[in-house]
Amino acid sequence: MAESGASQFSPLYPDDMKLFDKIDTIVKRIYRGSEAIADKSVRDQLHAWEAAGYGHLPVCMAKTQYSFSTDPNLRGAPVDHVVPVREVRLAAGAGFIVAICGEIMTMPGLPKAPSSEKIFLNEQGQIEGLF
C-alpha cells in the first residue's frame, strides 16, 4: 500500500526468460491478447541476441497508443487479439530490446549536432539560428 510505504512491485517476468516469451508474456498479461506472433526472421534475431548474451535484457513494446491491440481503430482494451511483432531492435547501450508491433512509425534518431546548438540570442535579445 502506498500509505504504508511498502512497495508492491513484482517483475512481470524473470530476467532469464527467453526474449520471445517475454514479449508473449507482455501481450497476454498487460495487453490482454491471446498471443504474440512473429516471422522466423524476428525469432532468429532474438535467438541470436540470446546467444550473444543479451537474453537477460528487458523488452520494450512499441505499438499504437490508442489500443492494447496493434489496431489504432480498435480503441481501448479489447481482449483475445493477436499482436504481430514485425521487427525487433537491440538497444544495447540503453539495455533493452524493442519489439516493433503492428504498423507504427518510429522516430528517427537525433543528429550528432542538434539544431538547438545553433540557436542563440543576439545582442538585441532576438532569437537567431531557427530554420
Instruction: Give per-residue pLDDT as tens, 58-105.
Output: 999 999 888 888 887 888 788 999 999 999 999 999 999 999 998 887
Rounded to an integer, what distance in angstroms lies between the CA atom of residue 102 and that of residue 107?
15
Domain ranges of the chain: 19-105
pLDDT band at 131 (very low <50, low <70, confident <90, very high): low
Cβ-in-10-Å burial (0-12, 13-18, 19+) of 22 comes to buried
Residue of 53 and 66 predicted with greater confidence: 53
CATH fit for domain 19-105, picks 3.30.460.80, 3.10.410.10, 3.40.50.1980, 3.40.50.720: 3.10.410.10
